[in-house]
Amino acid sequence: MIFLRLFFEFFKTGLFSVGGGLATVPFLQNMAVKTGWFTYSDLADMIAVAESTPGPLGVNMATYVGYTTGSTFHGSIGGVIGAVIATLGLVTPSIIVIMIIAYFLSKFKDNKYVNNAFYGLRAASVGLIAAAGINIVLIAFFSANSIYDMLGDVHFNPLHFLLAAIIFVASRYIPKIKDLHPVVFIVFSAVVGILFM
């Protein structure tokens, strides 16, 4: 039963991939080898699509794999069912684990040790987000996948910096404009990208 296997495989992926969207990639590679549902080059396409559409990466990957696998076996209706099943499989472990943690968190929220731990956790959390931001800067401005790529030849487009400067000033300093919803800046940048990049 393909749908049951889809659910199970993505349940496993959701349960063991820790730390965000790209953490699911090794599991999908393993899935490709084990099940033969898709090849490595299909996977590269899936990553490209997942990265160029809205939504969390891991969820996009699950939906895409679920659709293509389901439709191979049962046509486009099978595809839709596969997409839903794979996505539900991916999120089920999260829901269970987070519910349990949230329960204990609300129970121990006045505990001194828990609060002290969060004092360190918050600082680390902002640090991790800052690092993720730096990695996105490397990709967006220099097409570098890690800081070490910066040691080699670095290419960049001055236009990218100009756009960044405009968004930076507009979103931080210009009255009224800086309070606009972030999506306004995203749409503006997408249009600039299509027209000039």
Site for another protein in 47-76 (CB under 8 A): 48-60, 63-64, 67-68, 71, 76
Residue numbers 158-187 binding another protein by CB under 8 A: 160, 163-164, 167-168, 171-172, 181-183, 185-186
Instruction: Tell the smallest beta-carbon distance from residue 34 to another protein (Å).
Output: 20
Would you give the binding string for another protein spanning residues 13-52, x where CB under 8 A is met? -xxxxxxxxx-x--------------------x--xxxxx
Instruction: Tell the smallest beta-carbon distance from residue 66 to another protein (Å).
Output: 9
**By the 8 A CB rule, do 24 and 2 touch?**
no
Classify 161 as helix, strand or coil.
helix
**By the 8 A CB rule, do 87 and 63 touch?**
yes
Of 4, 33, 40, 98, the one binding another protein (CB under 8 A) is 98
Of 8, 33, 107, 140, the one binding another protein (CB under 8 A) is 140
DSSP at 37: S
Q: How many residues does the chain have?
A: 197
Q: Does 192 bind another protein (CB under 8 A)?
A: yes
Of 107, 118, 145, 156, the one binding another protein (CB under 8 A) is 118
Best CA proximity match to 14, nearest among 105, 128, 132, 95: 95
Q: Which long-range contacts (CB under 8 A, 24 or more apart) does 40-43 make?
A: 42/68
Q: Cβ of 67: how many Cβ atoms within 10 Å?
A: 21
